[in-house]
Amino acid sequence: MDNKLISVVIPCYNRRDKLPACLFSVLGQTYSNLEVIVVDDASTDGTQELFENITDPRVKYYRYEQNRGACYARNYGAERANGELLAFQDSDDTWHAEKLEKQRRLLEETGADLCFCGMNRIAHDGSSFYFPVHACHPEKALEEFLAENRAGTQTMLMKKGVWEALRFDESFRRYQDWDFAIRAAERFTLCYLPEALADSEVGGDSISFAVKSYPALVHLYEKHRALYEKYPQSDAVMNRRMGKRLHRTDPGRAAEHYKKSFELTHKWYDLAYYLGDRARAFRPGRKRE
């Protein structure tokens, strides 16, 4: 196999405490023909001091003075990449040593344009679970990605041409990896390596998270509405997910999502949630939103 250069882009913002472990896991890959592009998205915690004495010639550090968000930082780094292959890592996550080597080999064997792998999602209490939760079938990649995000940016290795055609949508502050994966599945050939080769910390599924994530889900859904109309099962799953986000805080709007899901699937599960949330929304004394 050709010893192709892999460019790894790491956006960071105020991750001085976690970035060294991230960098160590990238530089310690068994596949060593790398360049590592760290993009400092205007950190205020002294992140730049970490790079004053870096001697590894594979590391390139860029910084700008106005915070632009992770998508801008990823695009900024990818624009400066020299590799034929691109990978993206998050500054507070780590990779297993053979990640890039195994993914590169699978890209070669399958002829795919983008490879994504599994990862361990680790909670603050130390418990973990494998992501993606459901099995992946590359031949149904678009339908499956419309229904559920199955590839974080830190799990992807791709030909540079994939990023050049798609870029990260900078209007997304959340679910940018999901949006990228949907567009990649629509236009390119994907392959999946069912092995956890990255470790990622996750927070709790709080009410606050549900409320804040709902607008991002709507943004994703509206952007790809035409695709959802082509895949009614995925459309139903997405509406069910949006309903769950609002179930505890806005049962009226949640009921509308469950109604849409029921109309597409005719499942009792959606009907039960629709009737329950509709009843709660219109019970006497409830304040209307």
> Can you give the pLDDT of all 289 residues of the chain as single tens digits?
578 999 999 999 999 999 999 999 999 999 999 999 999 999 999 999 999 988 899 999 999 999 999 999 999 999 999 999 999 999 999 999 999 999 999 999 999 999 999 999 998 888 999 999 998 998 899 999 999 999 999 999 999 999 999 999 999 989 999 999 999 999 999 999 999 999 998 865 444 455 588 999 999 999 999 999 999 999 999 999 999 999 889 999 999 999 999 999 999 999 999 999 999 988 755 554 4
In this structure, CATH architecture of domain 6-201: Alpha-Beta Complex (3.90)
Q: Is 204 exposed, middle or buried (CB count within 10 Å of its CB: 0-12, 13-18, 19+)?
A: exposed
Is the Cα torsion angle 74, 129, 117, 196 positive or negative in sign? Answer: positive
Decide: pTM greater than 0.85. Answer: yes
Measured between alpha carbons, how far is 255 from 274 in angstroms, rounded to an integer?
A: 5
3-state secondary structure of 60: strand
Report d(CA 251, CA 238) in Å as an integer.
Answer: 17
Domain ranges of the chain: 6-201, 207-281
Strand partners, 120: 130, 199
Run of H or E residues at 162:
helix 160-166
Lookup: tokens for 218 = 């709507």
DSSP strands (E only) in 56-113? 59-64, 85-88, 94-95
